[in-house]
């Protein structure tokens, strides 16, 4: 729903003020994607417009894009506002085949305690209370906890992408060993990296360089 705190939660989880947050319902229209790292698990968070009836024209396009993003997501965090009495039912709005975690946000205003009863995760995107419970839920969903099978089971395309990545890596290694062709190795590694990006969400080599340069000071 609009104004439930989706963008605030994205900002908190990503540790950046990536999304615009205002008290105006219908702030987010464009889809925003942020790569986050949960204890070594790479997750792509997608912030969307809130779904509601009779939006304005621009917001309606945002909602259309939100529905598209939901269709292709591995899981949906359904953010609700703890201060509101009515939360609607999942059936109305979300596809049946995607796992849904219900997150009740703004517990600081509702004076609720943080918690996860297996059904609903209660937290505050402003104070950060309960955010670790959500991180844990996401790890569970991904099968990252206890080495179990998660809801994001490896799909065919993931296996294909892994094979592609391995093949490029091998070709690069061969090029280096047989002809000392470092530039061919670099190109094969780039292709291998792109194949892995199909699984984790695309990271361009520019993104990667940006991340490296933001963390290390490399002399000019």
Residues that bind ligand GTP (CB under 6 A): 2-8, 21-23, 25-28, 49-50, 105-106, 108-109, 124-126
- Are the C-beta atoms of residues 29 and 11 closer than 8 Å to each other? no
28 interacts with Mg ion by CB under 5 A: yes
Cβ-proximal residues to 25 (8 Å cutoff; 6+ apart), any chain: 2, 3, 50, 52
Cβ closest to Mg ion, residue 59 vs residue 188: 59
Helix residue spans in the chain (DSSP H): 6-14, 57-71, 90-93, 107-110, 131-141, 156-179, 182-200, 205-215
In the list 1, 7, 79, 195, the residue contacting Mg ion (rule: CB under 5 A) is 7
Phi/psi at 181 (5° precision): -90, 85
Radius of gyration of the chain (CA): 20
In whole angstroms, the minimum distance from the beta carbon of 8 to ligand GTP comes to 3
Contacting range for Mg ion; rule: CB under 5 A; set: 26-34, 52-60, 95-103, 128-136: 26-34
Cβ closest to ligand GTP, residue 54 vs residue 149: 54
Partner touching 130 among Mg ion, ligand GTP, none, CB below 5 to 8 Å by kind:
none
- Residues that bind Mg ion (rule: CB under 5 A) add up to a total of 4
Contacting range for Mg ion; rule: CB under 5 A; set: 22-30, 171-179, 184-192, 206-214: 22-30
Cβ closest to ligand GTP, residue 109 vs residue 208: 109
Q: What are 43's strand-pairing partners?
A: 36
Sign, CA dihedral 21-15-32-48, equals negative
Cβ closest to ligand GTP, residue 7 vs residue 14: 7
In whole angstroms, the minimum distance from the beta carbon of 213 to ligand GTP comes to 30
Cβ closest to Mg ion, residue 47 vs residue 116: 47
In whole angstroms, the minimum distance from the beta carbon of 67 to ligand GTP comes to 14
CA dihedral 135, 155, 96, 39 (to 10 degrees): 0
Tell me the C-alpha distance between 105 and 124, whole Å: 5
**Nearest CA among 51, 48, 134, 63 for reference residue 87:** 51
In whole angstroms, the minimum distance from the beta carbon of 188 to Mg ion comes to 40
- Are the C-beta atoms of residues 178 and 185 closer than 8 Å to each other? no
Q: Which residues bind Mg ion (CB under 5 A)?
A: 6-7, 27-28
């Amino acid at each position: 729903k609009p104004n439930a705190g989706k963008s605030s939660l994205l900002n908190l989880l990503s540790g950046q003020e990536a999304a615009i947050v205002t008290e105006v319902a219908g702030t987010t229209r464009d889809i925003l994607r942020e790569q986050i790292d949960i204890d070594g698990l790479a997750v792509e968070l997608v912030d969307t417009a809130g779904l509601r009836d009779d939006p304005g024209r621009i917001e309606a396009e945002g909602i259309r894009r939100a529905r598209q993003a939901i269709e292709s997501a591995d899981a949906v965090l359904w953010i609700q506002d703890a201060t509101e009495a009515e939360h609607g039912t999942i059936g109305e709005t979300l596809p049946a085949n995607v796992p849904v975690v219900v997150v009740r946000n703004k517990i600081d205003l509702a004076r609720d305690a943080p918690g996860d009863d297996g059904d609903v995760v209660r937290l505050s995107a402003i104070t950060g209370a309960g955010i670790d419970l959500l991180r844990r839920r996401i790890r569970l969903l991904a099968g990252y906890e206890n080495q179990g099978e998660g809801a994001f089971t490896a799909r065919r395309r993931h296996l294909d992408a892994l094979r592609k990545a391995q093949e490029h890596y091998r070709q690069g290694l061969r090029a280096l060993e047989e002809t000392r062709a470092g530039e061919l190795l670099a190109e094969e590694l780039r292709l291998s990296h792109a194949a892995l990006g199909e699984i984790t969400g695309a990271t361009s080599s520019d993104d990667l360089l940006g991340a490296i340069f933001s963390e290390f000071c490399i002399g000019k």
